Structure 1
Amino acid sequence: MSISPTKESIPKLAPPNTIPIHDPPSPGTHRALRRLQSSHTLGQSQPSLIQQQHRQNFQRNQSPANTPHHARGRSNSDAANMTPPRPGAAAARRPIPMSSKKPVAADACSLERLIRDGPPDGDLVSALDSARLKILDQGIPSDKQGMSTLRIYAWLILLNAPILETDSYLALIHRGASPVYSKIKNDTFRTLKTDPFFVKRVSESSLVRLLNAVAWKLQDAKEEKAGSLAMSRSNKLTHTASLQGSPELQSSTPAMKSRARAITLTTEGSDAGNSESGTYVQGMNVLAAPFLYAARSEAEAFVAFHHLITVECPGYVRGAMDGVHKGLALVDKVLEIVDEKLYLYLIGKGMPANLYAFPSVLTLCACTPPLPQVLNLWDFLFAYGAHLNILCIVAQLVVLRTSILNEPSPTLILRKLPPLQADIVKGVALSFVKQIPDDLYAEIVSHAK
C-alpha cells in the first residue's frame, strides 16, 4: 500500500473566490514551538514521525514481499515508499471531500505533536495523510515574515529527506571552491534582493556555501556514475574478446560473428542518449533560497534542497533542463483544457508558456514575491507533490484572466506577475485536478524526473 497521496486523494478547498486571506498566526500563540529542537533528537521516549518513516523504509527494503503498490503515480516528495510510480496505473476516481476522510487517532493531534512525538497509534500512513490535511486546511503556524520553527521539519518529513550529520556538510564546505564556483558567485549576489525579509535573514555567503556544497555532491555522483560505466564497458570488452577467441565463435558462420559484434556495439552505446546531470544551472540560487530562509541551519537546508533536485525534480537541473521544458509544454496543455479562450488569446499574441513561465517552473514559483506566500505555497507542494506547481502556474494565469484578455500586450503582465497569493492559487489549482485527464496528469507527475 502506498503512503503517497494520489490524484484521487487530493481534497477540495472552498471555491477560490470565497477563500479569505489572513495573516498566518504568530508563533507567539504557539510558544511550545520554541522548544522544538532538531527533528532528529525530538521525542526520545517515542520515535518521531521522520524516524518511523526511515525505519519503515528500512523494513520495506528488507522484506521484498511487502513491496507496496501504487494506485496512481506521483512524485516522491513525501513517500516513505521509494518504489517508482507506474505511469499507466491511473484510477478512475476523482478528488474526495475532506469530510469523507475516515477519522484516525492522528487527526486529534496537532501538527506540532505529530512531528515531535510521531503517530499516536503507530500508523505512519494515516499520520502522514492527517499531517497533509492539517497543512492544507490550517497551514503551518508562522508569523507575518513567514518564520516558523516547525516548517523545516515538516518539509524534511514530507520530502522524505535522509538524515545528514552536520560534519558531512562541513566536509563538503572544507573542500573549497567547486569547479562551478564562479558561476555560483555570478548569481548569488542578486538572489531575492528585492525581498527585505530574505536579505535581512540570509547572507550571500550562506547561499554560496550551500550551492557550492551541492555542486561538490553532484560532482561526486557524476564521477561515481562515470566510474561504474567505465567498469561496465571494460567488462563488456573483456567478454567480447573472450567470445572472439572462443572455439564456438571461431567455428561459427560470418553472419553469427557479425550479429555478435552488432549486439556488443548496441549494448555499449545504450547509455549514450542519456542526458548528463549538471552540477549547477542558473536559477538554482532562487530555488535554494527558501530552504535557507526556513531552515534553522545550513545543514538542514542543504539536505532538503539536495533531495529536492536529485529525487523530486532532477530534470530541472540536468544539463539541458529537459524537465523545465516539459513543464512549460504542460502549462500550455493544462491552460488549454481549463481555459481555452485564455490559451488561444495568448497563443494568438505569440505568447506560449516558454516565453513567460520558465522562471516559475524552474523555481517552483519562488521567483514571485512575497517570500512568506512562497513558503505557504511550498507547504502545499511538498505535502501533495511538487509537480502540482504546474497547476499553480496555470492558476495564477486564470486569476489574472480579465487583465490579460483586456491587455493588447500580455507580455507586460506575464513577465512580472503580481504578488503571489498562495491561498487563492491553491484553491484554483485544486479545482483543476478533476478536469485533467489521467494520461495528462501522469505526464505532470513524471515531467521533472
Structure 2
Amino acid sequence: MTSSRPSIVNTSLSTFAPPPASPQSPRKLRKFQSHQTLTSTSFSTFGQPPATQGVPARQRGALANAAPHDTPSDAQLDSAGRHHSRQRARSNSDTGSSLATPLVTAPPKARRPARKTGSSGYFLKRSGLETFLRDGPADGKLLETLQELRLMVLSNKVDADSDGMSTHRIYLWLVLFAIPPLPTDEYLNLVHRGRSPVYTKIRNDTFRTLATDPLFKRRVTEASLIRLLNAVAWKLHDTQNAKPRSRPSSRRKELLELAIDSPPTIAEEPEGDPGREMSGAIGKGAIYVQGMNVLCAPFLYAARSEVEAFTLFHYFVTKECPGYVRGAMDGVHKGLRLVDRCLEIVDPKLASYLFSKGMQAELYAFPSVLTLCACTPPLPEVLHLWDFLFAYGPHLNILCIVAQLNCMRDAIMQSDSPNKLLRSFPPLEADKIISLTVSFIQKIPDDLYGDLVDHAK
C-alpha cells in the first residue's frame, strides 16, 4: 500500500511483453514462454520501437497500426517495370491448339491492416489502454504516464467481454504493481516440490472457492488453484525459514567451537527435518490462512497463465497486504475497525443505527475486508473494482465497503434486524461503488486516511 492519497502508487514500471497465446486446455498446466523470455525479445524501452523513439505517442500508434502494402519483387518486374507473364503448357486433356496460352497474373492488391473483430463480427477500435501498453511512456516521462494510466482506469473501463475477460487486464495489474518478470521454471520448481506443510488446509478450502460462480468454475480448475496456493505456501515457508547470514563475533565463534562435540538441541536439528519445518512455519507466522483461496481466485481467473497469477498473488500478500495473511490476521481486524470509523464520518446516522443494533463491522464485513470484496458476485464487477483498487491503492477497499453500506442505506434503516440483510451484500455494482468511494475520500481526515494506508502492513 502507498503512504499518501490515492494519486500515488508504485512509481516504477517493469518491461512489458505482448500477451501470450490462450491456453489450449484449462486442465493442463499452462506451458507458456516465461515473461522473462518474452520481454528479452521485445523492445528495450517498454515496447517502444527504436525507429520511433522520440515520436509522439499518437504518431507511434498510427505507425504501429499501419501494415505495409505488398509490392512485387524485383524478380517479378522486367526492365520496363511490368510484370512478367507466366505461361503454362496446356495439358493433354485440353482441346484446341497445342500452343502455349499465356496466363497473366493480376498485380497484387494492397492489403488492408488487420482488423480486430468481436464475436459479432463488428470492427473493434484499438483501446487507449492497449495503445499505452504497447507504446509505453512517451519521452521517458514515467511518473506523468503512470498518472495518465491511473486516470484512464478511473474514467474508462478496461475492455472486457461479458465474462469479464480482458487481454490487457493482467498486464495492467503487473504494470501498476511494478512487478518484474518471473521465469516459468521458478514456479514449476515450487510445484514439483509436492505437498507443502499446509497442503491439507489448502485442500479443505479449495473445493468451495466461489462454488456458486459458474464463470469461475468454467475457467479455473481446483487443481490449478491447489497448485498456486501450494506454491505460494512453499515460497512463504522458504522466506520464513531462511537463515540470516551474519559474521559471528569472536566470542560467539568460541562458543560455537566448544559446542561442536556437544549433542544437538531441538533448535539445532538438521535443516531438512520435517518437524523443524512445521514448527518454523507456525512459530514465525502462518503460510496459509483460511480465505486466501478466495483472495487468490480473481488473480487466477484474470491471468493468462498460472505463472502470472502466482507472481501477482505472491506480491500482493507479501508487499501490499501482508497483515491480512499473518496468523492472527491483524490487518483484517484493523480494517474492520476502520470500516466503523469511516462509516461514522461518512454517514453518522447509518452508523449510529447499526451500532444501536449491535452491528459492528466485525460481524458482517470480515469476508469483504479479507478478500477485497471478491466474495461478492458477480466476478466481472469484482475485476472492474480491482482495476480501481490496484491503480489507487488496495487500502481504498475499506471505503468501498462503506460505499456498499451506503447503497443499502434505505433497506437497513427500515429493517428491525439489519443483520439478516448484511449476511450477504447485494450484487456488486463497480461503477457506483467507485464513484461513491471517490466522493468519500475528501471527507476522511488525514490522520484516519493514514491509518487506512497502513492498516494491512
Report the alpha carbon displacement of residue 444 of structure 1 after superposing the two structures with TM: 0.1
1:374 aligns with 2:382: yes
Report the alpha carbon displacement of residue 181 of structure 1 after superposing the two structures with TM: 0.2
Picking from 244, 256, 270, the partner of 1:228 is 244
Partner deviation per Cα, 1:383-430 (whole Å, 9 max, x = no partner): 000000000000000111000001111111111001000000000011
Report the alpha carbon displacement of residue 117 of structure 1 after superposing the two structures with TM: 2.5
Cα distance in 2 for partners of 1:411, 1:390 equals 19
Instruction: Verify the 8 A CA contact 1:5 1:384 in the aligned structure 2.
Output: no
Picking from 161, 175, 180, the partner of 1:143 is 161
Picking from 337, 355, 361, the partner of 2:369 is 361
Picking from 116, 120, 125, the partner of 2:143 is 125
Instruction: Verify the 8 A CA contact 2:20 2:304 in the aligned structure 1.
Output: no
Unaligned ranges ≥5, structure 2: 9-17, 23-32, 49-55, 62-127, 256-282
Cα distance in 1 for partners of 2:4, 2:252 equals 47
Report the alpha carbon displacement of residue 228 of structure 1 after superposing the two structures with TM: 2.1
What is the TM-score with the length of structure 1 in the denominator?
0.70
Picking from 314, 325, 345, the partner of 1:317 is 325
In structure 2, the CA distance between the partners of 1:46 and 1:222, relative to structure 1 (3 Å rule), is: closer
Instruction: Verify the 8 A CA contact 2:336 2:365 in the aligned structure 1.
Output: yes
Matches within 5 A, 1:213-292: 213-224=231-242, 227-228=243-244, 238=252, 276-292=284-300
Report the alpha carbon displacement of residue 183 of structure 1 after superposing the two structures with TM: 0.1
Task: Give the secondary-structure state (helix, strand or coil) at the position aligned to 2:239.
Answer: helix
The one-letter amino acid paired with 1:122 is G
The one-letter amino acid paired with 1:280 is Y
Partner deviation per Cα, 1:128-155 (whole Å, 9 max, x = no partner): 1111111111121101100001000001
Q: 2:43 aligns to what?
A: 45
Cα distance in 1 for partners of 2:221, 2:21 equals 25
Partner deviation per Cα, 1:206-226 (whole Å, 9 max, x = no partner): 0000000000000000001xx
The one-letter amino acid paired with 1:312 is E
Report the alpha carbon displacement of residue 235 of structure 1 after superposing the two structures with TM: 5.2
Cα distance in 2 for partners of 1:317, 1:303 equals 16
Greater relative contact order: 1 or 2 (C-alpha under 8 angstroms, separation 6 or more)?
Answer: 1
Q: CA RMSD in A?
A: 2.9
Cα distance in 2 for partners of 1:318, 1:106 equals 44
Partner deviation per Cα, 1:223-281 (whole Å, 9 max, x = no partner): 01xx229x68x75973998xxxxxxxxxxxxxxxxxxxxxxxxxxxxxxxxx9432000
Report the alpha carbon displacement of residue 123 of structure 1 after superposing the two structures with TM: 1.0
The one-letter amino acid paired with 2:369 is V
Q: 2:357 aligns to what?
A: 349
What is the TM-score with the length of structure 2 in the denominator?
0.69
Q: Which has the larger radius of gyration?
A: 2
Cα distance in 1 for partners of 2:140, 2:413 equals 52
Matches within 5 A, 1:303-314: 303-314=311-322
Give the length in aligned residue pairs.
Answer: 337
Matches within 5 A, 1:25-424: 41=38, 44-48=42-46, 110-224=128-242, 227-228=243-244, 238=252, 276-424=284-432
Q: 2:77 aligns to what?
A: none
The one-letter amino acid paired with 2:386 is W
Instruction: Verify the 8 A CA contact 1:329 1:353 in the aligned structure 2.
Output: yes
The one-letter amino acid paired with 2:43 is S
Task: Give the secondary-structure state (helix, strand or coil) at the position aligned to 2:289.
Answer: coil
Structure ranking higher in helix proportion: 1
Work out the percentage of aligned pairs sharing the same amino acid: 57
